[in-house]
Amino acid sequence: QDTTVFQTLQTKNQVPKQSEFPNVYAWFGWINMFNPEKIASWAGAEKKAAPAPAKKEEDVDLFGSDDEEDEEAEAEAERKRKEVVAKHQATKKKKEVVIAKTIFIMDVKVFELEQDLIALAHKIYENVNMDGLVWNKDPKTEKIAYGMSKLIVTCVLE
């Protein structure tokens, strides 16, 4: 194909414009570097057709089984495959929508020893409300150091 396109362009004295067709121009320059005898030899080297595949010998059925049995087996396999697909589709539809949940554990540290942490927890439960927020109503206190404690409150956000 290269030789036919090159010879067509060369006989018509048409050189591709570099600004419009840079790739074709580069190809034309590359092919033009070869001498005419070499280019002419490319035309004779056409692709050989792929050899025809050898005929398969028919399988010899030594046991005399019928084609009907093969067809029945294929039909049975197809029926089983359809059943499996139908079951899969049915279970796929039955699955519940999973609601994503996030658990927050907050440590509340106070500045004074006398701070009532349980009262603070109840105040947090009353004042911080939003859709999907569920508080764990069991506040915990944990000793930090020098008699100080921290409040641990937990909530789930759906």
What is the C-alpha to C-alpha distance for residues 43 and 7, in angstroms, rounded to an integer?
11
- Taking alpha carbons only, the member of 72, 140, 146, 71 closest to residue 108 is 140
Report pLDDT digits (tens) over 120-136: 999 999 999 889 899 98
**pLDDT digits over 71-85, tens only?**
888 888 999 999 998
What is the domain extent for residue 130?
A: 102-157
pLDDT score for 156: 93
How many structural domains are present in the chain? 2
More confident residue, 13 or 67: 13
What integer pLDDT is reported at residue 142 of this predicted model? Answer: 92
Q: Is residue 15 part of a domain?
A: yes
Is residue 7 in some structural domain? yes
Q: Which CATH number is 111's domain given? A: 3.30.70.60
Q: What is the pLDDT of residues 132-156, one digit of tens each?
A: 899 988 899 999 888 899 999 999 9
Going by pLDDT thresholds of 50, 70 and 90, the confidence category of residue 106 is very high
Handedness of CA 56, 58, 59, 65 (dihedral sign): positive
Q: Do the domain assignments include residue 12?
A: yes
Q: Is the pLDDT of residue 115 over 90?
A: no
Confidence of residue 46 (pLDDT cuts 50, 70, 90): low
Residue 69 lies in a domain: no
pLDDT band with cut points at 50, 70 and 90 for residue 45: low
Beta strands in the chain (DSSP E): 102-109, 133-135, 140-143, 149-157
Does 130 reside within a domain?
yes
Look at residue 22 and tell me if it is in a domain.
yes
Cα Rg of the chain, angstroms: 42
Is 8 a member of any domain? yes
- Kindly state whether residue 28 falls inside one of the protein's structural domains: yes
